[in-house]
Amino acid sequence: MRINFLFIMMFAFSINPNILKAQTVIEMMNPGDANQVLLEVNDISKADVVVYKTEDKTEVEEWDYMWKFKKWGFSNFSVYITKDSSDTLLFDAEMGITYQLQGKIYFTNNKEERGIKTPGFHLEGVLQKANVNTSEEGKKSKEKAKKNSEEKFDE
pLDDT tens string 16-26 = 444 444 567 77
Percent above pLDDT 90 for the chain: 8
DSSP 3-state assignment of 81? strand
Work out the average pLDDT over 46-57. 83
Q: What pLDDT is recorded for position 129?
A: 53
pLDDT at residue 83 in the model: 92
The answer, yes or no, to whether residue 80 has pLDDT greater than 80, is yes
Residues 6+ apart with CB under 8 A from 50: 44, 65, 105, 106, 107, 108, 113, 114, 115, 117
Q: Are strands 49-53 and 66-70 parallel, antiparallel or unpaired?
A: parallel
Position 94 scores a pLDDT of: 87
Q: Is the pTM of this model over 0.85?
A: no
- Residue 60 binned pLDDT confidence (cut-offs 50, 70, 90): low
pLDDT value, residue 126: 60
Q: Name the H helices within the chain.
A: 2-14, 17-21, 57-62, 136-154
Beta strand extents in the chain (DSSP E only): 24-27, 36-40, 49-53, 66-70, 77-82, 91-92, 97-98, 104-108, 115-116
**43 has pLDDT over 70:** yes
* pLDDT score recorded for residue 22: 52
**Mean pLDDT over residues 133-154, rounded?**
75
pLDDT for 131 beyond 70: no
Report the chain's terminal Cα–Cα distance, integer Å: 54
Yes or no: say if 40 and 87 are a contact pair by the CB < 8 Å rule.
no
Average pLDDT over residues 80-104: 89
Tell me, what's the pLDDT at 136? 78
